[in-house]
Amino acid sequence: MHKFNDMDKIKVPEQLDKVIDHAILEGKYKRKYKKAKINISAFLMLFVMCSFIIPLNVFQGFADTMIDTPGIGIIARIFTFRNYEDIDNKYYTLNVRYPNIQDVDDESSDFHINMEINRIISKEVKKSKERSFEYFTSFVETGGESDEFPGVDIKIDYEIKCDNDEYLSFVIKKSETLGNAYNKWYVYNIDSTDGRLLKINQFLGPNYKNKIVESVEREIKTWTTEKKDLLFDEYNISDYIDDDMQYYINKANHAVVIFDKYTIACGYAGILEFEIIK
């Protein structure tokens, strides 16, 4: 079944599951009336969370009100997302979840960033679908039965790295799996005060290249021998540093630079991340 829904799908946060699980476990070892109190508390928490999340994701006016409410705006931004699924065909399964940015200082920035996100996701979905059909064709042409084709698992999701009064930083992650995994990241770092997208040189300052090289080399020295063996024999960190280098801002307001697979290490090392201390 192919399904596209403009309304947001509601998903209870992982933190709520942990709270409920903890309450149930604790109740097993306490008196009966204590257990009842815990279960009631967990139920009330679930009720409150659902009462907040459902209208937030269904009614735009409610979301706008929450964004303007002190202490709740960050939650409102996190729970504003859209979902796209295509799970009933023989070539692939597809699940896309992406953010809809709100509440940066410049509304035109919201619009342009959201348009860019939609454009990138549409492009990646199209490319993945085309590759899935190519994989299927090759599978059949080399003797495989069409009914035995496992299908490509395509996922596009996002992860918020930092959301405070200064910065909003998030990563859109695309994975495509059929035996081997193909991963691609798109990173957005936004100045919360004026809506600007911040490049690495704007965030770290004019001496950003030296700061990155020093931090990366310092961290590599702490690696185990096995991890160091994954690095290429010859590489120069500075060759991969420029104004367009991918990075995100973590909760400590530090830049974390990203090296794609096969940049400075073999593919088994995956995507490498290094925190840069200003």
Mean pLDDT over 17-21 rounds to: 41
> Tens of pLDDT along 246-277?
999 999 999 999 999 999 999 889 899 999 98
Task: Find where tokens 């930083």 sit.
Answer: 169
Q: Is the dihedral of CA 164, 253, 244, 272 positive or negative?
A: negative
Predicted local distance difference test score (pLDDT) of residue 12: 42
Of the two residues 64 and 92, the one the predictor is more confident about is: 92
> Tens of pLDDT along 95-147?
998 788 876 555 677 788 888 988 999 999 999 999 999 999 999 999 999 99
Q: Which of 158, 187, 4, 195 shows the shortest CA–CA distance to 78?
A: 158
The yes-or-no verdict on residue 26 having pLDDT over 80 is: no
Please, is 148 exposed, middle or buried when counting C-beta atoms within 10 Å of its C-beta (0-12, 13-18, 19+)? exposed
> Tens of pLDDT along 229-244?
999 998 999 999 999 9
Question: With pLDDT > 90 as the criterion, what percentage of the chain qualifies?
Answer: 50
The yes-or-no verdict on residue 223 having pLDDT over 50 is: yes
The yes-or-no verdict on residue 67 having pLDDT over 60 is: no
The C-alpha torsion from 36 through 37 and 42 to 48, rounded to 10°, is 130
Highest mean pLDDT among 34-43, 55-64, 102-111, 251-260: 251-260
- CA–CA separation, 248 and 173 (whole Å): 13
- CA–CA separation, 62 and 37 (whole Å): 32
Domains (range + CATH), the chain: 8-74 (no CATH), 89-196 (3.30.565.40), 199-278 (3.90.640.20)
Q: Which of 221, 255, 214, 254 shows the shortest CA–CA distance to 237?
A: 214
Between the alpha carbon of residue 46 and those of residues 14, 16, 91, the distances in Å are 12, 7, 38
Predicted local distance difference test score (pLDDT) of residue 105: 57
Helices within the chain (DSSP H only): 14-27, 32-58, 60-67, 73-78, 107-141, 200-204, 208-221, 225-228
Q: Is 74 helix (H, G, I), strand (E, B) or coil?
A: helix
Predicted local distance difference test score (pLDDT) of residue 92: 93
Vertex 96, ends 90 and 98: CA angle to 5°?
170
- CA–CA separation, 134 and 95 (whole Å): 20
Question: Could you tell me the two tokens for 257?
Answer: 């630079």
> Tens of pLDDT along 194-222?
888 999 999 999 999 999 999 999 999 99
